[in-house]
Amino acid sequence: MPNHFTSTPKTTTLVATLGGQSQVITFALDDLLRRGEVIDTVIVVYIQPNAPRMQKALAQLAEEFKDGQYQGRACTLRRVEISNNGRALDAIDNEELAELTWQSIHRLLINLKEDGHRLHLCIAGGPRMIGLMAMSAANLHFEHQDRLWHLYTPPTVRAQAEDGALRHVTPASGVTLVQVPIAPWGAYFPALRTLTQVTSTQVIANQTHLLDRDERQRCAQVVACLTPRQQDVLTAIAQGKTPQDVAEALSVTLKTVDNHKSAIFAECRNAWGMAEDARLTYYFLREKFGRFFQI
């Protein structure tokens, strides 16, 4: 797969999960526009296309985006139905359908990022499983400039807006997008993005492998900077020995162990990019180096 991340986004797109409430889309879009975002495309992701509430919601959105315009601005609406080989889904109630949902959103985000889109993803509408799978795919494909949002709607406004009865509100209503922090693993480990035919389970396995490899590289960097005696102290601590145990095993004083520990911590701060005054503990050494010395 080519590198699907470009330095300058061609367009900014809102991807939003949709249930039977069209106002979730318009509330989210209105908030982004008020923040100064220029949204060119809105993509709604949904299931249950034959449900009356979904059909009503889609019809209401079609009215809002008539002739490629939204509130006097150029903005197009695109629908993405998650289906099972062309068959409509009424629910996502097993792992097979959950994986199908993940694959659908995974492919959608790949295509958008390959085309240079900056993304806003709102997961407030529709079945929770769609939102969870969208978050998972975003972890893989998002860059640092992309955003994940949840829409907060006060209960009173929610009641008034039921079934799209109210699709636009003022900031005074309390309706607002709340940013959800995520770690864009694909930005940190681009190799994850080269997986074209991949399941969500494989992504997790590969992500864990890359994280382990990265940690081992840092551990190796620390060990290479230590004296043989400091390496002995680190190995003993990583095995779970107390400072007194280390001193007795190496026939040195506790003060000597503490001096070696201070040198080890200094190298760890450097390897992990920590501040000089960052507090480290014996637990940190056991957690980071325990497996390193076992393999």
Over its length of 295 residues, how does the chain's per-residue pLDDT go in tens digits? 444 444 455 689 999 999 999 999 999 999 999 999 999 999 999 999 999 999 999 999 999 999 999 999 999 999 999 999 889 999 999 988 988 898 899 889 989 998 999 999 999 999 999 999 999 889 888 888 999 999 999 999 999 999 999 999 999 999 999 999 887 877 776 666 655 445 555 555 544 444 467 788 889 999 999 999 999 999 999 888 999 999 999 999 999 999 999 999 999 999 988 888 888 888 889 888 887 877 5
Alpha-helical segments (H) within the chain:
23-34, 52-64, 95-114, 128-141, 155-160, 185-188, 200-224, 228-238, 243-250, 254-271, 282-294
What's the CATH code, domain 11-194? 3.40.50.11700
DSSP 167-198: ----GGG--EEEEPP---HHHH-GGGGG-SS-
Q: What is the pLDDT of residue 181?
A: 87
Q: What is the pLDDT of residue 192?
A: 62
Domain with CATH 3.40.50.2300 in the chain: 202-294
Task: Say which CATH topology domain 202-294 has.
Answer: Rossmann fold (3.40.50)
Q: What is the pLDDT of residue 6?
A: 46
Q: What is the pLDDT of residue 7?
A: 46
Residue 239, Cβ density class (10 Å: 0-12 exposed, 13-18 middle, ≥19 buried): middle
6-to-2, 111, 140 alpha-carbon distances in Å: 11, 13, 16
Let me know how long the chain is. 295
Domain with CATH 3.40.50.11700 in the chain: 11-194
Q: What is the pLDDT of residue 281?
A: 85
Mind spelling out the 3-state secondary structure of 48-81? CCCCHHHHHHHHHHHHHCHHHEECCEECEEEEEE
